[in-house]
Structure 1
Amino acid sequence: MATFRDTLAQFVLSKDQVKAIIDGLTDELVEGLSTNDPKNITQQPSFITRLPTGKETGLYLAIDMGGTNLRTAAIHLLGDGQVGVTMEKHEITHALKTGTGEAMFDWIADCTASLLKNVSVDMGNSDLHMGVTFSFALHQTAVNRGIVLAMGKGFDLSDVMGRDLKDLLETGFARKNLHVVVSAIINDTVGTLVSHAYVSPSTKIGVILATGTNAAYIEKAAQVSKYKGPVCDQMILNTEWDAMGKASYLPQTKYDKEIDAVSLVPGFQEFEKMVSGLYMGELVRLALVDLIQQRAILGVLQGQVPESLQPRLAFKTLFMSTIESDSSTDHAAVAKVFKTSFGVEGLSDQDRSNIFDLIHAVGQRSAVMAAAACAALLYKAHGSSLDLDDASEITTIGIDGSVFEKYPHFSHSMLKALTDILGEDRTSRIRLELARDGGCIGAALVAMISHSGGAV
């Protein structure tokens, strides 16, 4: 039991550890405003200088390329804050993720053609304008242009890094005889911020908590010294907080370090590897393997790790969600998951309780670290005192992603952690709101904004 308790304690963050995360992320947010180091991909200007008004109208195409799926959409902006959406979703296979750039962008064009057929859009020889949400690091050079800097989340495409995304997409469209012009390129967090501001004007921060994690917020343009474009008052920044995090302040366990060491790019996205849905289940698996080998858990296995639990990513974050959703006192879901997915039976009451506690601790740590990152953004946007303009002002954080939406109690845990960090008075003026489909709707809105002079 002592070994198990020691392992569990590694995932429980102290107030000092949380403060170190906030201070460290804040320092990196400030550093990212001025650095021109190509290796530092944080604080990327979006070239978007205002939020939508709700009066925008027109038909726009949109694609949202994330870590798991490609979504294509025809977005009808109807004015008065109303939107009509026709959307298709396509799984991005491992073969596509690790193949050639040409194959990937031909596939995207094929998916777009499928959408156009579904909505019966006859393009003729006229161009349709598209907004693109791209959930990977870009060096944005204009509202519709960006150089691909890095791709995590299992992607390893050839002939893509260092190239302009607009050219890659439009060349693929041309190969498929589609008259589509890329009018806007945004990150998924920028899309979340823009689209949620469309329905909730108090939105100042957009966050993704899904396969990966990232955030965007509104910054005074004068603070962004690395921005050399046309003069503007404010700018939405893509923080790329996934790529932040240094060993000096991140409370990494040996399991976090192992995940980083065997990843495609060790030393990259270390914050994300401690927080996001892609890695939460793997953290649990590594801890379980270690505890089984030390005979500190699952005594029925006598220290032998079952083959079914040995492959990387074998313990899915979905299993964590299933187990935490079970409110029974005997944690019956633990036994069911282990029997169904790993062929392990005969779990004792103590085993089920311990496994539940381990899973809860990993999920809780993710929520606390996400809250700490939000606190860092609030401090950066409002100053260290976090004084808002008046006591009645509300700041909304729009959050998209399966972890925030579907993981049991995650939103509640985040809000509780924010209260512990900021105090009840400040937290009472902060709203955490679910923001769905921000990628496609946000991309279409930005394409519209760019036409009306709200981008540079």
Structure 2
Amino acid sequence: MSSPLNIPGASVAQLTAVKELQQDLTLTTAHLKAIVDGFMTSMDEGLEKDGCNLAMIPSYVKTRPMGDETGTYLALDLGGTNLRVCEVTLEGQSRFSIVQQKFTIPQDVKHSNARVFFDWIADCVSVFLTDHGKEPTASQGEVPLGFTFSFAVAQTSINRGTLIMWNKGFTVEGVVGRDVVLLLQDALRRKHLRVSVSALVNDTVGALMTSAYQHPSSLMGVIFGTGTNAAYYEKAGRIPKWIKSADGARDVADVDEMVINMEWGGFDNHKEVLPVTMFDNCVDRETQNPNKQVFEKMISGLYLGEVTRKVLLYLVDRRLLFRGLSSTELNEPYSFNTAYMSTIVADESADLEEVRYTLESVLLLPETTLTDRALVKAVCYMLGLRAARLSAAALASVLSVRLDLLRQDKVTIGIDGSMYEFYPNFEKFLREALVEIMGTELAGNVYTTLSKDGSGVGAAIVAMVADKQRKQAADHVHA
């Protein structure tokens, strides 16, 4: 297998350009360690007070699932295009089963008002329960439901949270500033459904819970997909902003840990630590949220293809690629899908046939040479490698905060998302960088596992944990 940076037939100018790009996109071990230091400082700031680059949002999940819990729970996953209703049966022995149904959210519902919107959600729950013969009987009591709501919410307890703002094309009136759990619960009551909304869940918290139910050593739930984020178990005593809250003042003596939703895509929005290039700046400037989610824009699937496209056009404009010619398709923002990068990097054929297909048949570029194709592959390789190494620095930051666990035993990280699951060598590059940052011994205690569907299965497990916490609190009061 030849080196991905080997470019047959390249001119001196082309080789010089690749070397320059390599300098800009390479992360040394020292640089990775500096990013970890910056990350840990930002984590502490976010745990201290609101309004920082890392939001560090308390999830109010204060116990770990053991994997032996049993019961039936519902989960609702409200995303940008679909609503998913799931029934999850926890079977004990770290096993579960799931029945689910997807509903496409109609455009008019996305632009309706609170009553119409939440009544539509309750209708979907009703249809699911009827279709699957799952309607709870009076003797069963109410079925707990975990609600994954993928929008910005200010959470005040495990089942309370007000909407800060809509995005993803939603403009439902009368919801901003109101408690989404109460709005949903009212709609379920209007339908006479025996369902109680027991938890409001962020999908990374869900990914952690899914992993923890199967692997008790789980410390983090992470998403490396279209976007990126993470949640982890933080020591309760290290969360000053929670300790100062009413909930914290009441609970701090009895709670060892709490899951924190980091919102780590916002790390280093001031661009002080990250190795931001002109290509990253260009992509950032043209987004709807410039100087926000800067870290996410360097590693997530939504933006990685666009950064690559900017590099390719830079080479085209210098007449170092495709004889200086582009295509209408390549000129279109976000036309270079991150999935193309996976295909290109994985191409080991002598003529780089898959690369040719992507460039000539998908992006409709004029006939390419082997040198062109090898150059494109080199660019994709460098950007994918950088993304994996930046991701490792973020993981190492959290692991460094919980060395108390890592030094004792193995620690598991549950990861979901297309970059981790499908991008060639992403996991290998990530592990290599972890060893560089933390050393062989500590990195050897870190296990990564694919933890799919935090927003469905995970939300149901959070509903179970919420139930458990309520019972513990009630016992505490009666004790």
| TM-score in terms of structure 1 length | 0.89
Q: Does 1:275 align with 2:290?
A: no
Whole-Å separation in 1 of the counterparts to 2:123 and 2:282: 38
Superposition deviation, residue 67 in structure 1: 5.5
The unaligned stretches of length 5 or more in structure 2 are 1-13, 474-479
Q: Does 1:42 align with 2:33?
A: no
Partner of 2:348 in structure 1? Answer: 327
Q: Does 1:10 align with 2:24?
A: yes
Superposition deviation, residue 140 in structure 1: 1.4
Whole-Å separation in 2 of the counterparts to 1:340 and 1:46: 47
Whole-Å separation in 2 of the counterparts to 1:112 and 1:448: 19
Superposition deviation, residue 142 in structure 1: 0.7
Whole-Å separation in 1 of the counterparts to 2:459 and 2:112: 25
More helix by share: 2
Residue range with higher mean Cα deviation, 43-52 or 338-347: 338-347
Partner of 2:224 in structure 1? Answer: 209
Total equivalences in the alignment = 445
Superposition deviation, residue 34 in structure 1: 0.8
Partner of 1:264 in structure 2? Answer: 288
Contact 1:41 1:149 in 2 (8 A): no
Q: Secondary structure at the match of 2:48?
A: coil
Letter of the structure 1 residue corresponding to residue 389 of structure 2: V
Q: Does 1:388 align with 2:388?
A: no
Partner of 1:310 in structure 2? Answer: 331
Out of 460, 465, 473, the residue aligned to residue 444 of structure 1 is 460
- Going from structure 1 to structure 2, the CA distance change for 1:373 and 1:69 (only over 3 Å counts) comes to farther
- Going from structure 1 to structure 2, the CA distance change for 1:173 and 1:408 (only over 3 Å counts) comes to farther
Q: Does 1:288 align with 2:312?
A: yes
Out of 84, 91, 96, the residue aligned to residue 71 of structure 1 is 84
Contact 1:129 1:181 in 2 (8 A): yes
Whole-Å separation in 1 of the counterparts to 2:282 and 2:110: 22
Whole-Å separation in 2 of the counterparts to 1:292 and 1:104: 48
Residue range with higher mean Cα deviation, 445-454 or 313-322: 445-454
CA RMSD in angstroms comes to 2.6
Could you give the per-residue CA deviations for residues 99-120 of structure 1, whole angstroms, max 9, x where no partner exists? 4564765554454344324422
- Going from structure 1 to structure 2, the CA distance change for 1:378 and 1:3 (only over 3 Å counts) comes to same
Superposition deviation, residue 282 in structure 1: 1.1
Superposition deviation, residue 177 in structure 1: 6.3
Contact 1:218 1:235 in 2 (8 A): yes
Q: Does 1:51 align with 2:55?
A: no
Whole-Å separation in 2 of the counterparts to 1:4 and 1:106: 56
Could you give the per-residue CA deviations for residues 73-132 of structure 1, whole angstroms, max 9, x where no partner exists? 111122333212012345668x58974564765554454344324422234776432102
Letter of the structure 1 residue corresponding to residue 221 of structure 2: G
Q: Does 1:348 align with 2:387?
A: no
The unaligned stretches of length 5 or more in structure 1 are none
Letter of the structure 1 residue corresponding to residue 62 of structure 2: T
Q: Does 1:30 align with 2:51?
A: no
- Going from structure 1 to structure 2, the CA distance change for 1:9 and 1:331 (only over 3 Å counts) comes to farther
- Going from structure 1 to structure 2, the CA distance change for 1:309 and 1:92 (only over 3 Å counts) comes to farther
Residue range with higher mean Cα deviation, 66-75 or 180-189: 66-75
Whole-Å separation in 2 of the counterparts to 1:19 and 1:92: 44
Whole-Å separation in 2 of the counterparts to 1:372 and 1:145: 33
Partner of 1:112 in structure 2? Answer: 125
Could you give the per-residue CA deviations for residues 35-58 of structure 1, whole angstroms, max 9, x where no partner exists? 133x65611111111111223222
Superposition deviation, residue 178 in structure 1: 4.9
- Going from structure 1 to structure 2, the CA distance change for 1:146 and 1:422 (only over 3 Å counts) comes to same
- Going from structure 1 to structure 2, the CA distance change for 1:140 and 1:344 (only over 3 Å counts) comes to same
Partner of 2:263 in structure 1? Answer: 240
Whole-Å separation in 2 of the counterparts to 1:255 and 1:101: 40
Contact 1:415 1:432 in 2 (8 A): no
Q: Secondary structure at the match of 1:22?
A: helix
Letter of the structure 1 residue corresponding to residue 297 of structure 2: K
- 5 Å-filtered alignment, 1:375-414, equals 375-382=396-403, 388-389=407-408, 393-414=409-430
Superposition deviation, residue 11 in structure 1: 2.1
Whole-Å separation in 1 of the counterparts to 2:416 and 2:438: 22
Residue range with higher mean Cα deviation, 69-78 or 350-359: 69-78
- Going from structure 1 to structure 2, the CA distance change for 1:322 and 1:178 (only over 3 Å counts) comes to farther
Superposition deviation, residue 179 in structure 1: 5.0
Whole-Å separation in 2 of the counterparts to 1:91 and 1:287: 36
Residue range with higher mean Cα deviation, 27-36 or 132-141: 132-141
- Going from structure 1 to structure 2, the CA distance change for 1:423 and 1:352 (only over 3 Å counts) comes to same
Letter of the structure 2 residue corresponding to residue 186 of structure 1: V
Larger Rg: 2
Contact 2:145 2:195 in 1 (8 A): yes
- Going from structure 1 to structure 2, the CA distance change for 1:113 and 1:332 (only over 3 Å counts) comes to farther
Identity of aligned residues (%): 36
Residue range with higher mean Cα deviation, 170-179 or 328-337: 170-179
- Going from structure 1 to structure 2, the CA distance change for 1:238 and 1:288 (only over 3 Å counts) comes to same
Q: Secondary structure at the match of 2:25?
A: coil
Partner of 2:144 in structure 1? Answer: 129
Whole-Å separation in 2 of the counterparts to 1:58 and 1:85: 12
Q: Secondary structure at the match of 1:83?
A: strand
Whole-Å separation in 1 of the counterparts to 2:102 and 2:345: 28
Contact 1:68 1:211 in 2 (8 A): no
Superposition deviation, residue 31 in structure 1: 0.5
Whole-Å separation in 1 of the counterparts to 2:422 and 2:93: 30
